[in-house]
A = this chain, B = another copy of it.
Amino acid sequence: MVKKAGADANKPSISRRREIIMAAARLFLKKGLHKTTMREVARESGIVVGTLYHYISTKDDIITMIMDEELAAVHEFIRDSEMMLAKLGPVKTLRMTIDRYLHMIDISQDVQVFWYQESGNMLPDQRRRLIEVEDKLAAMYGKILTAGCKSGDFRVKDVLLTAHDIIVLGDMWAFRRWFIAKHCTLDEFIRHQTGLILSGISVRPPEVAAASGEKTAKAQKRGGDVRTDK
């Protein structure tokens, strides 16, 4: 009777639930929250509406469940970065955190956009949770920045605001993908944004270029070499 293994036998098969969440997320992202009907969610899940309600209890419930998954991932992300900070120091940690953050966003692009777009249609509770996690994320970036200031690597006047800047410059990858996706690769994007951020906070900027894979700093010294989008 045990479907997988472990302690998840009380609520009807977890895996089915996951399928529904994924299907719903897919539709929500493609069509928007309220233009997606529960019948569509059911069909996309390969079941009928009656069955659907065996696994979830409300449309809003689905959102909460999608959120649960996401927030768990973000929390883990935060935890990892804080551990990293203790081991590698602020400069390296900031670089790596930005890199990891962008890859995380890249993986769940749609979900990110979903939060941005549908937060207005969510229950107060859900909205609060969303803001909460953003606050924590910013706080984590803030810790890195503060550590960097103490170590003399960074000079940041407004730590929290800068933290939000970093987040937003990352989220762009998701919510401006209509432009960015056509414009550059993820790695190029990461390098560019990291450069912008570090140039804004670094006390000694040289290692910026060196660390970010820049081939020849020289070639770029000429102002003419401006990349124009195709």
Residues of A in contact with B (beta carbons under 8 Å apart) = 32, 34-35, 113, 116-121, 131, 134-135, 138, 142, 145-146, 149-152, 154-162, 164-165, 168-169, 172, 175-176, 178-180, 183-184, 188-189, 191-197, 199-201, 203, 205-214, 217, 220-221, 223-230
Residue pairs across A and B with Cβ atoms less than 8 A apart, 10 shown, are: A117-B119, A117-B120, A131-B178, A146-B228, A156-B226, A165-B169, A191-B230, A205-B205, A205-B225, A208-B228
Closest 3 CB pairs of A and B: A195-B230, A160-B229, A196-B200
Q: Specify which of B152, B184, B212 is in contact with A161 (CB 8 Å cutoff).
A: B184
Q: How far is the CA of A6 from the CA of B161 in the complex (A)?
A: 47
Distance in angstroms from A92 CB to nearest chain B CB is: 18
Point out the residues of chain B lying under 8 angstroms from A208, CB to CB. Answer: 228, 230
Taking chain A's interface residues, is the majority helix, strand, or loop, or is none over half, making it mixed?
Answer: helix
Q: Specify which of B158, B205, B228 is in contact with A159 (CB 8 Å cutoff).
A: B228
Point out the residues of chain B lying under 8 angstroms from A175, CB to CB. Answer: 116
A117-B120, A172-B164 are known contacts. Are A199 and B195 too (CB-CB below 8 A)? no
A32-B120, A35-B121, A191-B230 are known contacts. Are A205 and B199 too (CB-CB below 8 A)? yes
Q: How far is the CA of A184 from the CA of B168 in the complex (A)?
A: 17
A169-B169, A178-B131 are known contacts. Are A158 and B230 too (CB-CB below 8 A)? no
Q: How far is the CA of A32 from the CA of B120 in the complex (A)?
A: 6
Q: How far is the CA of A118 from the CA of B32 in the complex (A)?
A: 9
Residue of B nearest to A31 (CB): B120
Q: Which of A113, A134, A162, A189 has the most CB of B within 10 A?
A: A162
Q: How far is the CA of A191 from the CA of B161 in the complex (A)?
A: 12
Q: How far is the CA of A85 from the CA of B158 in the complex (A)?
A: 30
Is B209 in contact with A158, judged by CB distance below 8 angstroms? no
Q: Specify which of B117, B135, B161, B162 is in contact with A180 (CB 8 Å cutoff).
A: B161
Residue of B nearest to A227 (CB): B158
Q: How far is the CA of A178 from the CA of B127 in the complex (A)?
A: 11
A121-B35, A228-B205 are known contacts. Are A210 and B220 too (CB-CB below 8 A)? no
Residue of B nearest to A193 (CB): B165
Point out the residues of chain B lying under 8 angstroms from A164, CB to CB. Answer: 172, 176, 179-180
